[in-house]
Amino acid sequence: MARRKGNNRKKTFGARDDRNNGEWTEIKKDNEKWETYYKAQKFIPEKDWDFFKKTCQTQLPLTFRITGNRKHANEILDIFKTKHLPQLGNVEFEGEIIKPPVNLPWYPDNLAWQLDVSKTVIRKNEQFSKTQRFLVLETSAGNISRQEAVSMIPPLLLDVEPHHKVLDTCAAPGSKTAQLIESLHSTSDEPTGFVIANDADARRSHMLVHQLKRLNSPNLLVVNHDAQFFPRIQIENNGKKSFVLFDRILCDVPCSGDGTMRKNINVWKDWNTQGGLGLHTVQYNILTRGLKLLKKGGRLVYSTCSLNPVENEAVVAQALRQWGDKIKLVDCSDRLPGLIREKGVSDWLVYDRNMDLKTKENRGDIKESCFPPTKEEAENFHLDRCIRVYQHFQNTGGFFIAVFEKNGETQKDAVVDEPPKEEPNSAIVKKMKTDSGDVVVTKKEKLPRDANEEPFIFIPSVHPELEKCWKFYGVDDKFDKNNCLVRNATGDPTRVVYTVSKSLKNIIESNEDRMKFIYAGVKLFVAQRSDIECPWRVQSESIPIMKHHMNSARVVECTEDALKVLLTHAFPTFDDFKDESLVSKLKELKTGCIFVSIKRNDPLKEDLFLPVWNGSKCANLMVAKDDTHELLYRIFGIETTRNEQKKPQQQDEKKEEGKMTENKI
């Protein structure tokens, strides 16, 4: 329902009719053209139509998946299954029994779940409210991702591995991209591959950043380009330039979206045949561009949240028609057992915008590629290898997926028409003094940017500020120190230093004049107090990487009892800790950022590594409030409320260490 519009404004979808005495009117979930179109296609048997339509008219259930490495994910799963699931069975609300959560049988390792409950139940029922609080905390901590069930399928079929170069052509809002990043990091904190997330809309690109930043991956690059004309990415190795061909590409293309009508009520009002007909060419262009950027032996997934064959099988067939035996559809019938699906179709009807049935011979302005393949083509194309998921099969949205593999390529495949390159600007040469002597830094100007966009400027590892950090935190030589960058016009480390993977540094430096970069890098060092030995602290975002490379007395062993003190006290004094060994080490260390390493007693649970500010008389755990609450619940079973804060302790010490408050993450 939309808010009241002004009397002189054009009435828009969902707006209240002021002639209706101020009452809200419910949107009618019906569309005669949609029903006529899909009944004629006969994809849904007549006996199942009413159930299919009724499902499309009901609310989409809440689904989520548990993320992280195996130990971490299993710990979160165990908490959900032991502390929440038993309490959600046989729950009665207003005289009705509420369905308990069920796992998605086709998602690996029981890590994806579905809750078919309304917001009213979640808000008013005590047990469901507790589960909602658990989900919110774990989502904030990055341990859970809320995502529509069918949206999880395409990334699973891409089979991303840590060394893969991955492109997501139409990434916003980012749930599938997050899944790709998680796969990249599934067996390694420091994968050698990367994920490039692209979206054509600048605003949606920045929304994408908001969604993906919580994953803290130095192997992620967000860019802003029209996927139909995605530029070739240049890299340089040993003085030789070449172009990137990707191991994995996801083309989840713009579509008419009738698979989303359970959550997007606009579809009921706006759906018409012209939507699919108008998008067909754009969808094909994105798919064929992806195929040109795919390496031999690589895999590409084409997907839509539409059931319309003009947007699905017709696009796939046209690609197979144009590429011949250089590509093939992959048979995924043995993948994701438990997923109820239908095969792709090789025959369908085409209607024009006026709902008139058309043929190839009498097609008017409709493109020939919108029509079904010939009998001979159908035998060769194997469109039955495509996947169709209908809403009523397992109470989900609707989705279409096709998986391609590339059998061959020519130089022509990889070199295609590009948008014209900007004329390169003059370079800026800068000389900087270091302990090791003068270093000359050359910075090329990038593409013209909006006033609010920040540049990406790499700084040498011998920069005096970085050298302080390497020494202070005992960072070993296995950590690649040459991939640090800043995002300010001066190119100097003044407030934040970021780090990216080596492969992404190569891409950023080699494509400043041809790509529009939106986001890359995780925060490595953040400026803190200037009156201490090292004015930089290690940011929490980079700890999953840095914990493997710090050989320093500033990494202190800590017991779970001491951790509990840090979690429940805002600024515990040294006297609050009962561990004399820990207190002795804290007193010996200079003021600044340190790290506590907590070994868990259970071999099935993940060890912890957390940042702490070490003051002259007290310490402070530097994690966000939501992360504090998540750790309290996960480690100690202590429940908190949404607005609850850490309990203030030792006000004198808090005043003395007042500057430390700005270091809270």
pLDDT-derived band of residue 16, with 50, 70 and 90 as boundaries? very low
Q: Tell the residue number behind the tokens 């070993």, with chain if given.
A: 476
Ligand-binding annotation for 226, yes or no, is: yes
In three-state secondary structure terms, 631 is helix
pLDDT digits (tens, 9 = 90+) for 526-553: 998 888 899 999 998 999 999 999 999 9
Q: What is the pLDDT of residues 206-258, one digit of tens each?
A: 999 988 988 899 999 999 999 999 999 999 988 899 999 999 999 999 999 99
Task: Determine whether the annotation assigns residue 105 to a binding site.
Answer: no
Task: Please state, as a whole number, how many other Cβ atoms lie within 10 Å of the Cβ of residue 286.
Answer: 24
**Whole-angstrom Cα distance, residue 150 to residue 194?**
24
Instruction: Give the model confidence (pLDDT) of 416-448 as tens digits.
Output: 344 434 333 333 344 444 444 444 444 444 455
Residue pair 427/440 in contact (Cβ under 8 Å)? The answer is no
What pLDDT was estimated at residue 644?
66
Classify each residue of 406-438 as buried b or exposed e, where b means 16 or more C-beta atoms within 10 Å of its C-beta.
beebeeebbeeeeeeeeeeeeeeeeeeeeeeee
Q: State mean pLDDT over 315-343.
A: 97
Of the residues 361, 383, 411, the one at which a domain ends = 411
pLDDT of residue 448: 52
Degrees, nearest 5: CA angle 331-406-515: 125
Work out the pLDDT band at 72, boundaries 50, 70, 90: confident
86 labelled as ligand-binding?
no
- Read off the pLDDT of residues 393-409 as tens digits, 9 standing for 90 and up: 999 999 999 999 999 76
Task: With H, G, I as helix, E, B as strand and everything else as coil, classify residue 194.
Answer: strand
Query: Same domain for 465 and 350?
Result: no
296 is in an annotated binding site: no
42 within some domain: no
pLDDT for res 660: 37
398, 439: one domain? no
Q: Is residue 38 part of a domain?
A: no
Which entry of 56, 305, 534, 558 is annotated as an active-site residue? 305
User: Which range among 72-76, 433-437, 556-560, 613-617 shows the weakest confidence by mean pLDDT?
Assistant: 433-437
532 lies in a domain? no
Same domain, 261 and 407: yes
The answer to whether residues 341 and 404 belong to one domain is yes
Contact at 8 Å (CB) between 614 and 577? no
> Has residue 576 been placed in a domain?
yes
Instruction: Determine the 3-state secondary structure of 562 from DSSP.
Output: helix
- Residue 378: pLDDT band with limits 50, 70, 90: very high
CA triplet 221, 222, 225: central angle to 5 degrees? 125
- Any domain includes 15: no
Dihedral-angle region of residue 297 (phi above 0 means left; psi in -120 to 50 means alpha; beta otherwise): left
Using one digit for the tens of pLDDT, what is the confidence trace for 465-497?
999 999 999 999 999 999 999 999 889 999 999
**112 marked as part of a ligand binding site:** no
Q: Has residue 416 been placed in a domain?
A: no
> At residue 652, does pLDDT exceed 60?
no
| Greater pLDDT, 253 or 11 | 253
Q: Tell me if 252 is assigned to a ligand binding site.
A: yes
Q: Is the pLDDT score of 190 beyond 60?
A: yes
Residues 166 and 105 in one domain: no
SS3 label, residue 295: strand
Residue-range definition of the domain harbouring residue 558: 553-663
Band of pLDDT at residue 83, cut at 50, 70 and 90: very high
Helix axes 625-636, 70-79, angle to 10 degrees: 70
Q: What mean pLDDT value characterizes the chain?
A: 87
Helix (H) or strand (E) holding 351: strand 350-351
Average pLDDT of the residues in 4-24: 40
Of 146, 167, 202, which one is at a domain's C-terminal end? Answer: 146
Quote the CA–CA distance of 407 and 385 in Å, as a whole number: 17
Q: How far apart are CA 41 and CA 638, in angstroms?
A: 55
Q: Which of 67-81, 121-135, 208-222, 309-323 has the weakest average pLDDT?
A: 121-135
How many distinct structural domains can be found in the chain? 4
Farthest CA pair distance, the chain:
88
pLDDT digits (tens, 9 = 90+) for 554-567: 999 999 999 999 99
Residue 60 has pLDDT above 90, yes or no: yes
Last residue of a domain, one of 527, 544, 562: 527
For the question of residue 56 being annotated catalytic, the response is: no
Provide, rounded to the nearest whole percent, the portion of the chain with pLDDT above 70: 86
3-state secondary structure of 222: strand
Q: What sign does the dihedral 597-598-603-604 (CA atoms) show?
A: negative
Which amino acid makes up residue 241?
K
| 83 and 199 within one domain | no
78 lies in a domain? yes
Distance between CA 574 and CA 557 in Å, rounded? 15
Amino acid at 232: R
Query: Do both 448 and 322 map to the same domain?
Result: no
Q: Which two tokens stand for residue 547?
A: 């914990």
pLDDT at 436: 42
* Position 649 confidence tier, pLDDT thresholds 50, 70, 90: very low
Give me the CATH number covering residue 330. Answer: 3.40.50.150
* CA distances in angstroms from 342 to 289, 293, 602, listed in the order given: 27, 29, 44
User: Is residue 227 marked as binding?
Assistant: no
* HEC assignment per residue over 379-438: HHHCHHHCEEECHHHHCCCCEEEEEEEECCCCHHHHCCCCCCCCCCCCCEEEEEEECCEE
Annotation-wise, does 173 bind a ligand? yes
Whether residue 481 sits in one domain with residue 605: no
Question: Are 257 and 402 in the same domain?
Answer: yes
Instruction: Specify whether the CB–CB gap between 620 and 573 falls below 8 A.
Output: no
Shared-domain flag, residues 521 and 571:
no
Q: How far apart are CA 379 and CA 367, in angstroms?
A: 22
100 domain residue, yes or no: yes
Q: Are residues 161 and 298 in the same domain?
A: yes
Same domain as 452, residue 407: no
